[in-house]
């Protein structure tokens, strides 16, 4: 574990506290009928899979990766990657530890609840207050070491959980840096010259701020009317998602009304372009609108790694992408500024910083 990771505290992300009923999840065990509080009137709007090309699956070992990544980021804002180098045994371990956490009784999980102004620990998704109905999910957010909350959950037995979560974050960070470098170079940019804040693997000075989010979608008595995670874009530069082998994730394309399922591919990771990458690329890359649905057979879990810039770095549209025909679309923001904008304006956050 890189020792400097501990210096990234949840201070970086503190925003306005949310309402208690939008923080603490329901005890999902033995709920025979979907409560009205969790019943969404949602047209499921499936997309016709035959009229749409599916979300790209990109083999990172192939030679034409850069072109494929650019196309995926411009058209979808998301894609799956294989041959990414994360060992399958680590993915299995992360899923095992995630299930172990969410299988604890509700009263134990409440010992690790996220404080109203905090950023780490157990709770509902932070976007919950923007919706009148509650989501059929629970989450656990980690920044660096999870020991503070894990020791409340398992006073004697949290070492393995912490070790796996920390190792996973290290691997995800390296892969995120690789993916950011591919995305930037696919636009003809070199990060050394063009993106001041992006300093991969800078020795002894691990600057970027990242969040590991464990998501749990318990078996649901009425999945047709429930929402696992409501439609949103990620605020990060990019997000790496491992969804195991249970479907539920769906993405939407700008111009399409329907939702496209992202079917699990064994050992693959989903890459989402986040809002900050949308800003950096001056709107060339789309931050993908996505959501997660639930089912009545399997308890689904996923792990999302949100990769962000150093806390004080100003993120702005890259100069090389700006000319008379392409004026800058957004003003410079730090990640902290942007998360504040998101917690105030949610889906209008990008608009709120538009020039
Ligand atoms: C670094 C991030 C990214 C956050 C906020 C903060 C920590 C928790 C992340 C999530 C995780 C669950 C979905 C989401 C939409 C949510 O509600 O909390 C994410 C949000 C964002 O992408 O905006
Ligand atoms: O569980 C999923 O498939 C999606 C998770 C997600 O979008 C998130 O954590 O931001
Ligand atoms: Fe997301």
Buried b (16+ CB within 10 A) or exposed e, 159-195: eebbebbbebbebbbebbbbbbbbbbbbbebebeebb
Residues 6+ apart with CB under 8 A from 46: 258, 259, 261
pLDDT tens readout for residues 204-213: 556 678 999 9
Going along the chain from its start, the domains and CATH numbers come out as 58-353 (2.60.120.330)
Q: Please tell me if the CB atom of residue 70 comes closer than 6 angstroms to any atom of ligand 1.
A: no
The pLDDT value recorded for residue 253 is: 85
The pLDDT value recorded for residue 8 is: 47
The pLDDT value recorded for residue 10 is: 54
Index of the ligand 1 atom closest to the CA of residue 209: 1
The pLDDT value recorded for residue 52 is: 72
The pLDDT value recorded for residue 80 is: 98
Q: Please tell me if the CB atom of residue 98 comes closer than 6 angstroms to any atom of ligand 2.
A: no
The pLDDT value recorded for residue 41 is: 87
pLDDT, mean of each 10-residue run, the chain (355 residues): 42 53 84 93 71 88 96 96 98 98 96 89 94 96 96 96 98 96 90 72 67 98 96 97 97 81 96 97 96 96 96 90 95 94 96 97
Index of the ligand 2 atom closest to the CA of residue 304: 9
Ligand 1 center to 305 CA (angstroms)? 10
Nearest alpha carbon to residue 302 among 23, 99, 58, 81? 99
Q: Please tell me if the CB atom of residue 120 comes closer than 6 angstroms to any atom of ligand 1.
A: no
Buried b (16+ CB within 10 A) or exposed e, 138-152: bbbbbbbbbbebbbb
The pLDDT value recorded for residue 2 is: 40
Ligand 1 center to 110 CA (angstroms)? 20
The pLDDT value recorded for residue 11 is: 57
**Which listed residue (114, 253, 291, 300) is catalytic?**
300
Ligand 2 center to 325 CA (angstroms)? 35
Nearest alpha carbon to residue 18 among 147, 145, 131, 141? 131
Q: Please tell me if the CB atom of residue 306 comes closer than 6 angstroms to any atom of ligand 1.
A: yes
For the chain, the C-alpha Rg in angstroms (whole number) is 19
Ligand 2 center to 229 CA (angstroms)? 7
The answer to whether residue 300 is catalytic is yes
pLDDT tens readout for residues 208-267: 789 999 999 999 999 999 999 999 999 999 999 999 999 999 999 876 678 899 999 999
The pLDDT value recorded for residue 225 is: 94
Strand 269-273 versus strand 208-217 pairing type: unpaired
Question: Is this prediction's pTM over 0.90?
Answer: yes
Reported ipTM: 0.98
Q: Please tell me if the CB atom of residue 238 comes closer than 6 angstroms to any atom of ligand 1.
A: no
β-pair partners for 269? 81
């Amino acid at each position: 574990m890189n020792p400097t990771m501990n210096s990234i505290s949840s201070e970086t992300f503190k925003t306005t506290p949310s309402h208690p009923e939008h923080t603490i999840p329901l005890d999902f065990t033995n709920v025979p009928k979907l409560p009205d509080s969790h019943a969404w009137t949602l047209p499921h709007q499936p997309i016709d899979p035959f009229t749409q090309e599916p979300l790209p699956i990109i083999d990172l070992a192939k030679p034409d990766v850069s072109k494929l990544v650019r196309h995926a980021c411009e058209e979808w804002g998301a894609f799956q990657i294989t041959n990414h180098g994360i060992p399958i045994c680590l993915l299995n371990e992360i899923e095992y530890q995630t299930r172990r956490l969410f299988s604890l009784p509700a009263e134990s999980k409440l010992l690790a609840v996220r404080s109203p102004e905090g950023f780490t620990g157990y709770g509902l998704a932070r976007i919950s207050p923007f919706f009148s109905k509650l989501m059929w999910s629970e989450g656990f957010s980690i920044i660096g070491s999870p020991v503070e909350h894990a020791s409340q959950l398992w006073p004697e037995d949290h070492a393995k959980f912490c070790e796996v979560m920390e190792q996973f974050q290290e691997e995800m960070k390296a892969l995120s840096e690789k993916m950011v470098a591919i995305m930037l170079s696919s636009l003809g940019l070199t990060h050394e010259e063009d993106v001041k804040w992006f300093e991969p693997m800078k020795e002894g000075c691990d600057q970027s701020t990242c969040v590991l989010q464990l998501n749990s979608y318990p078996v649901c008595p009425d999945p047709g009317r429930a929402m696992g995670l409501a439609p949103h874009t990620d605020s990060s530069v990019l997000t790496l998602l491992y969804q195991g082998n249970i479907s539920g994730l769906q993405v939407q394309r700008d111009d399409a009304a329907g939702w496209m399922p992202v079917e699990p591919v064994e050992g693959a990771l989903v890459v989402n372009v986040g809002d900050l990458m949308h800003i950096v690329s001056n709107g060339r890359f789309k931050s993908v609108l996505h959501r997660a649905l639930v089912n009545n057979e399997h308890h689904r879990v996923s792990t999302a790694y949100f990769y962000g810039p150093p806390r004080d770095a100003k993120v702005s549209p890259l100069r090389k992408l700006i000319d008379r025909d392409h004026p800058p679309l957004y003003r410079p923001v730090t990640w902290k500024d942007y998360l504040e904008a998101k917690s105030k304006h949610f889906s209008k956050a990008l608009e709120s910083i538009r020039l």
